[in-house]
Structure 1
Amino acid sequence: MFECLFFVVSCLGVRCLGSEQERAQRLKARSVTGHPAGPYRAMGATKRLVSSLHPGVDTLDKVFEDASRRFPDRDCLGTREVVMEEDERQSNGKFFKKVRTGRTAQNRRTITHTKHTSLVILGQYRWLSYAETHRAAACFGIGLAALGQRAHNNIAIFCETRAEWVIAAQACFMQNFPLVTLYSTLGGPAITHGLNETEVSHIITSRELLETRLKFILLEVPRLQHIIVVDDTPTEWPGYPRGISVHNMANVQGLRTKPENGKHGHKQPMPSDIAVIMYTSGSTGVPKGVMISHSNIIAGITGMAERIPNLGENDTYIGYLPLAHVLELSAELVCVAHGCRIGYSSPQTLADQSTKIKKGSKGDTSVLQPTLMAAVPEIMDRIYKNVMTKVEEMSSAQRTLFTLAYNYKLEQLSQGRSTPLCDNLVFKKVRSLLGGKTRVLLSGGAPLSAATQRFINVCFCCPVGQGYGLTETCGAGTISEMWDYSTGRVGGPLICSEIKLKDWVEGGYHITDTPTPRGEILIGGPNVTMGYYKNEAKNQDFFVDENGQRWFCTGDIGEVHPDGCLKIIDRKKDLVKLQAGEYVSLGKVEAMLKNCPLIDNICAYANSDEMYVIGFVVPNQKHLLLLAEQYLIRGSWEELCDNAAMEEVVLQVITEAALSAQLERFEIPRKIRLSPDPWTPESGLVTEAFKLKRQQLKSKYQDDIERMYGGK
């Protein structure tokens, strides 16, 4: 029966863009010098790199002004209204608070205690048009000037991703206030470092972050004078240090610059002026502030926009990643420049199954039905594992149908065929997890596993544009073509940038390697930023060539394929030499082992004084419990993760997965520590893009490291 069904469906496949093999042979980029080192440029930018979206639109205030002129009545920024918060007793002893409210989701204060967690029922999105958003930003900029903020003086924003973040940022762009961005999950010392290094006197924040994070470090930031809270809050704020004034955003928007301050008045930015000082969350050391000019960002978003087909005012983007991260900020600016709608969300309310959505009510993707979405691999891996868990729970017939459909569509995609009937019959329910209308999904921040990428392509019926870039390059570098379904690669250079390779002798990578040249990736172009703020020692990673073009040495190792696509294969900082002389790439080990269903997250660790690799593992709860049941190991979740016998069983599974992935014996962890708690940005163990913070993980597991290395 199933074979007959798929014979019929296969007859309805639609030929589209040629087979995978044919598409892989199409040149996406080529070396402009003819040498294997490059520089490699996109085929559409072989004569010169592109640096602007529209003639004359050369600063970010002009980008928004141009959009509000072209799309004045179009929805711009959307926020969901909170209908109800609930307080329910659960089997685990937790309570969920029930409160009727008309506040928006971002204006709601989330109160979380040991035994109290809030669930929410959310309503529809409420929208500001482009014209309304532009007016709100203009008024806020004038109000900030009335509070004494001056052009070219830094101003900080320490706030969650929400519409007010964008309004505040646009206000600063209009008034030429360099915007210092800080992650909402940064710890106190990192926040203090960023505020003091940039010497800010004004900071924009939310009520929750002010009361839970910021107020405890105010005495350590002596230059701070004004705190502007974006929520609808009281105007009186007792108990704050003398000399610090706390303001309501709405009140600031009503202020007007005094005539006597006119000589300090608004000065329109130049393309070379600093737009953003973006503090990276950093996987090592204190955060670094990257100086990004208006022209840098515009070049970056110009390159990104070219890779998204048919981008325009019919698109809806869902914003939930940190706006203090270059991926999210660039993605939203691309959308603004093209008249798209941006609806706001959070990882806790994204889908119907998200942690703060009451069972039976709708998550943000179901209501918004976005057509465009950005995600980091950690989130995509989570979606992949969740859906596959559901598949395992299906009946035998349903599971057989799903598997046949999956393999059939995979084959059709490789031949360049679409499968509309199969999509509607089998994958419609999976696709609805992201709202049902997603047509482009952009992945960045870290390499995406081949299994996850294939899964998204097949089950969500949309291409995944895997990209590569850094804060230092405005997030721009490469993005794969939407019709290129090959895995493990990050595409060719964007039209705003070019890449070249440099030998890394210590790691054994050379531009003369065959069949593909390999080496450290260097990115050049108008999107390469101005360097690190007050950090000359680190600026050695930037250089200017004989043609006056800026370059950044990424520290990542790549290889360039014959069609001009780049593949990331290693990282200089992740290379450790074991005592016997073998080199181990920790990132490579982690990437291979994260494909194992038993592993939600893993950090490989090696000491150069030792003979072997060890690892810290966050296990998948469902798979670990099944394994414990199989081996008759009993206990609570925490007790299982602390159980030496459980560690041995998991290590055996990991070893088998590593051998299947063709890791060398010396690369496979010999001992592991199971972690009962996931690693989140809030815990300080991963960055906002879910990259491992190796130093912090080492500190957390120091006792375990000594145990696994025999007490040394």
Structure 2
Amino acid sequence: MEVHRSRTRRIYGCVDCGREVVPGEEIWVCGECWEEYTLCERCYDASKHKKMGHKMWKETIIWEVDPSLLEKVESVSDALLKCFQVYYDRPCLGYRKYHQEQIQPSYTWFSYQQVFQQSVQFSEGIKEAYNFSASETKFVGLCGISSIPWYITYYGSLISDIPLVPMHHSITEVNLSHLLRITKLPCLVSSRHLFEKLIKAIVSAAEVQESIKEEPHQLSLLILINDFEEPYSLKSATTPSTTPQVPSWLKVLDWDDLFKKDRKTKSEELHSFQIQSVYQEKRNKSDVVLLLSTSGTSGRPKLPIVTQQMLLQQVQVPRQANLLVMYSFEPLRQSLDVLSKGGKIGVWSGSTARISEDCKLLRPTVFGATPVYWNLYYTQWKEELQERKRESQGVREGDIVESLNEDWFKRNTFGNRCRTAIVGGAGASEDLKKWIFNVLRCIVIDGYGTTETGGVSGNSSIHSGTNLQLYDCPEMGYLTSDVPCPRGEIIVYTERLTPGYYGDPESNAEKFITLHGIRYFRTGDIGQLVEGKIQVIDRKASIFKLIQGVFVAPDPLERAFSTSPYVEQVLVYGNDKMNAVGAVVVPSEESSGDIEEILRNEFRSIGKSKNLHPWEIPNTIIVEKHKFTVENGFLSSIGKLCRPALNQYYKSKFPTYESTFDEVKIESYKDTDPDSPICLGLRILLQHTFPKFSSIDPNVSIVDLGADSITLAQLGSGIEKRFGKKIALPTLAKVPTLLHLQMMIFGGTFLDMNMEEKREEVIDWKKEVSSSW
């Protein structure tokens, strides 16, 4: 009790009788009230009138313990075993049971002790099924959705020092076949619902290796998890209608077959509290523990190596006790951090439609997701806001927003004790982060990091121990000498930096750089340092060049256009045959009418508010009825746009144009009018700006050629780039003839106040620019 009193940060009391509920007792808690409404067991039974309007859930008050045993750990298996020992009677992994084809309205929990016992049984079972030797490195693959068997496989492999290769359940057959060839996996643990995909990938890998006379992969054991009784809610995870033929050399087992009831396991040692290591081999800090598959956003997935030393960085001994409850709709890569703090993890019930329901039952203290997931709620909120505006004519918009935020807060979308919202995996807009803060009323952490480095920053503040530098990127115009703040490619060194990619020397040479004796990872992100904080402003890997020669980064444009209530998903596309970007838009469900025209006006409005260049506003808009998903290969496993697949699919749907003045070389231009008084360079610019004129009359004005605000801007930009002469648009619009324009380019300013009188029409360029937006 003394340890509990010294470490606990809160006391639970019954609102009815007023007494303190001590550790070990059960308490009933309302899952709806933000100011916790709690009853002890006796008052809950006796005071039924108190339960009116409350949804009560039973929990057990846990004992706070001394975690100092975790301060000195020698390996990952040692750390896990000490977590199981220190927190042995606490709930560790939870799930929702199925009973008579119905999902139960509560979570069932395995204690740390039970998770330990099952993990050891798994490790012994898999070693018995396949002869793993400590003298050689053999990997076990793990491919499936978040479930209790997934975590047991993960922990069982770690405590028995079997290197693991976790792969996302949405991995394509091609990428899975690629990873099988690289890793030479002898054993793969996967969901039964992915059986058809697995067999095709396994056979495909073998055929490719045979055709190129490569050493065949060694996969000979496939273990299938029965993770959910109901079919997956994902298209790719549906049970196949026909059972594929299993190769003769492949042995298929059920996951439950690894757990023999008559096997005596070393898990019994838990009760003696004298566990040093289940497996006694001494491990080096550089030994491989995991190969973490990247998302494959920019091509084939890579396999960053995770060593003992890197994974041990997750072990964080809590200074004071804090309740930590995590929801796992994707397997948590930081689960060792949760266990070292004595936290508990509740896995999802197998359907995205039930995530909010799961959270209301689990009541997580932290909820993390990618911007793609958060934007689903943000889009829904914006649609409701538009509906309320239509219904509340004359009401101040601020009052409508405040009322809607209050309604959303009361919905308890993620339960009633979520105090931290994490946005990670991709860049999030400021609008999205402000919305999360206003609606959920909790701390918002915008995490930035990579699989190769671990966490780098939170809310732009660089983590302690992280060595972050900017590296000049002249091809995009980002330099560390830029004013007012340095800009460049973000390169990072952390204590968790991977030694490299497994079996991929080319990527290792490309993605890592050594400066002044320190090895950095090249993130491919463009950042700027503002008062010691890092801001990601661009993405080097996804940039493209338009026909004018200007580079365009689609990521910030997509974040800007996603703020429209009419946009659910958007891809910005371009190539060197286009003079402006194009966009593929999946409209929000509430969108109606001429959606293409609505989107065009929306993008112009956003472009004006964000000060975008004319070429950064989509000329061509493709309205796509079907969402980008992991299943159709258009989203990566972490919810990012899979650009290679998207670009390949949509590139033929965008119109292309002949080169404009910025790209045409004078040497390759065929001069059709060598006697013209207009110089060749200016004629090239004019003919590409006004292509319908085959010859250029030096005595006509720019207005006579059909100039508008856009062509004026293009011509002015071309003159500045080719001749180094910057001419303001109002001045350019007033030039009476092309000869005068040429004189102005080469002879300086000469216009006088009477120039407007020499032609009949004057462009009101300010008015036109305003209307064009």
TM-score, shorter chain, exceeding 0.5: yes
2:96 counterpart SS class: strand
Q: Which residue of 2 aligns with 1:203?
A: 188
1:329 pairs, out of 323, 327, 333, with: 333
Residue 375 of structure 1: CA displacement?
0.6
Residue 538 of structure 1: CA displacement?
0.7
Q: Establish whether residue 144 from structure 1 lines up as the match of residue 158 from structure 2.
A: no
Deviations 1:625-681 (A, max 9, x none): 2xx1xx5xxxxxxxxxxxxxx434422322222222221111111101111001011
CA contact (8 A) 1:681 1:687 kept: yes
Q: Establish whether residue 453 from structure 1 lines up as the match of residue 433 from structure 2.
A: yes
Q: Establish whether residue 56 from structure 1 lines up as the match of residue 37 from structure 2.
A: no
Residue type of the partner of 2:445? G
CA contact (8 A) 1:521 1:558 kept: yes
Residue type of the partner of 1:176? D
Provide the rounded CA distance (Å) in 1 between the counterparts of 2:350 and 2:556: 27
Provide the rounded CA distance (Å) in 1 between the counterparts of 2:551 and 2:188: 46
Q: Which residue of 2 aligns with 1:429?
A: 410
CA contact (8 A) 2:385 2:400 kept: no
Q: Which residue of 1 aligns with 2:117?
A: 135
CA contact (8 A) 1:672 1:708 kept: no
2:452 counterpart SS class: helix
Q: Which residue of 1 aligns with 2:583?
A: 615
Q: Which residue of 1 aligns with 2:249?
A: 243
Deviations 1:384-433 (A, max 9, x none): 1213333444486799699438669xxxxxxxxxxxxx99x755414x01
Give the 4+ runs in structure 1 shifted more than 6 A.
Answer: 255-258
Residue 238 of structure 1: CA displacement?
10
Q: Which residue of 1 aligns with 2:480?
A: 511
1:542 pairs, out of 512, 517, 522, with: 512
Residue type of the partner of 1:240? V
Residues 232, 455 of structure 1: alpha-carbon distance in 2 compared, 3 angstrom cutoff: closer
Provide the rounded CA distance (Å) in 1 between the counterparts of 2:370 and 2:320: 21
Higher RCO (C-alpha under 8 Å, 6+ residues apart): 1
Q: Establish whether residue 477 from structure 1 lines up as the match of residue 483 from structure 2.
A: no
Residues 311, 511 of structure 1: alpha-carbon distance in 2 compared, 3 angstrom cutoff: farther
Residue 521 of structure 1: CA displacement?
0.7
Provide the rounded CA distance (Å) in 2 between the counterparts of 1:406 and 1:69: 50
2:292 counterpart SS class: strand
Residue 248 of structure 1: CA displacement?
2.2
Q: How does 1:36-51 map to 2 (within 5 A)?
A: none
Residues 312, 208 of structure 1: alpha-carbon distance in 2 compared, 3 angstrom cutoff: farther
Residues 293, 186 of structure 1: alpha-carbon distance in 2 compared, 3 angstrom cutoff: same
Q: Which residue of 2 aligns with 1:585?
A: 553
Provide the rounded CA distance (Å) in 2 between the counterparts of 1:344 and 1:311: 26
Q: Establish whether residue 281 from structure 1 lines up as the match of residue 295 from structure 2.
A: yes
Provide the rounded CA distance (Å) in 1 between the counterparts of 2:485 and 2:377: 33
Residue 379 of structure 1: CA displacement?
0.7
Provide the rounded CA distance (Å) in 1 between the counterparts of 2:534 and 2:69: 25
Q: How does 1:162-177 map to 2 (within 5 A)?
A: 162-177=147-162
CA contact (8 A) 1:619 1:674 kept: yes
Residue 372 of structure 1: CA displacement?
0.9
Q: Which residue of 2 aligns with 1:46?
A: none
CA contact (8 A) 1:149 1:202 kept: no
When the two structures are aligned, how many residues end up with a matched partner? 551
Q: How does 1:690-705 map to 2 (within 5 A)?
A: 690-705=639-654
Residues 382, 208 of structure 1: alpha-carbon distance in 2 compared, 3 angstrom cutoff: same
Deviations 1:527-563 (A, max 9, x none): 110111111111022245555x54211111111111x
Q: How does 1:292-441 map to 2 (within 5 A)?
A: 292-299=306-313, 301=314, 312=321, 314-321=323-330, 323=331, 328-330=332-334, 332-345=335-348, 348-349=351-352, 351=354, 363-394=357-388, 403-404=398-399, 428-430=409-411, 432-441=412-421
Residue type of the partner of 1:370? P
Provide the rounded CA distance (Å) in 2 between the counterparts of 1:524 and 1:233: 41
Provide the rounded CA distance (Å) in 2 between the counterparts of 1:698 and 1:257: 55
Residue 129 of structure 1: CA displacement?
0.7
1:217 counterpart SS class: helix
2:105 counterpart SS class: strand
Provide the rounded CA distance (Å) in 2 between the counterparts of 1:277 and 1:463: 32
Provide the rounded CA distance (Å) in 1 between the counterparts of 2:570 and 2:497: 32
Provide the rounded CA distance (Å) in 2 between the counterparts of 1:710 and 1:429: 56
Residue type of the partner of 1:477? V
Structure 2 residues not aligned, in runs of 5+? 1-67, 207-216, 230-242, 266-278, 660-773
1:181 pairs, out of 155, 162, 166, with: 166
Residues 405, 233 of structure 1: alpha-carbon distance in 2 compared, 3 angstrom cutoff: closer
Deviations 1:464-489 (A, max 9, x none): 11111111113x11113xxxxxxxxx
TM-score (normalised: structure 1): 0.72
Provide the rounded CA distance (Å) in 1 between the counterparts of 2:183 and 2:154: 17
Residues 124, 245 of structure 1: alpha-carbon distance in 2 compared, 3 angstrom cutoff: same
Provide the rounded CA distance (Å) in 1 between the counterparts of 2:74 and 2:114: 23
Q: Which residue of 2 aligns with 1:216?
A: 200
Provide the rounded CA distance (Å) in 1 between the counterparts of 2:203 and 2:282: 34
Provide the rounded CA distance (Å) in 2 between the counterparts of 1:195 and 1:256: 32
Residue type of the partner of 1:445? G
Provide the rounded CA distance (Å) in 2 between the counterparts of 1:596 and 1:453: 15
1:499 counterpart SS class: strand
TM-score (normalised: structure 2): 0.66
Deviations 1:557-609 (A, max 9, x none): 111111x2211001112222222222211112112111111111111111113
Provide the rounded CA distance (Å) in 2 between the counterparts of 1:692 and 1:347: 23
Larger Rg: 2
Provide the rounded CA distance (Å) in 2 between the counterparts of 1:552 and 1:667: 30
Residue 143 of structure 1: CA displacement?
1.4
Residue type of the partner of 2:109? W
Provide the rounded CA distance (Å) in 2 between the counterparts of 1:680 and 1:399: 40
Residue 233 of structure 1: CA displacement?
11
Residue type of the partner of 2:250? I
CA contact (8 A) 1:392 1:399 kept: no
Q: Establish whether residue 160 from structure 1 lines up as the match of residue 129 from structure 2.
A: no
Provide the rounded CA distance (Å) in 2 between the counterparts of 1:399 and 1:293: 62
Q: Which residue of 1 aligns with 2:608?
A: 659
CA contact (8 A) 2:453 2:497 kept: yes
1:136 counterpart SS class: helix
Provide the rounded CA distance (Å) in 2 between the counterparts of 1:621 and 1:701: 22
Deviations 1:125-183 (A, max 9, x none): 11111111111111111111112133421111111111221211111112221111211
Deviations 1:51-98 (A, max 9, x none): x99542243222221211111111111111134xxxxxxxxxxxxxxx
Percent identity at matched positions? 25
2:326 counterpart SS class: strand
Deviations 1:452-505 (A, max 9, x none): 11111111010111111111113x11113xxxxxxxxxx222224221111111
Residue 709 of structure 1: CA displacement?
5.5
CA contact (8 A) 2:546 2:552 kept: yes
Q: Establish whether residue 501 from structure 1 lines up as the match of residue 470 from structure 2.
A: yes
Q: Establish whether residue 465 from structure 1 lines up as the match of residue 441 from structure 2.
A: no
Structure 1 residues not aligned, in runs of 5+? 1-51, 84-99, 102-119, 259-264, 355-361, 409-421, 481-490, 632-645
Residue type of the partner of 1:297? L
CA contact (8 A) 1:155 1:178 kept: yes
Q: Which residue of 1 aligns with 2:701?
A: none
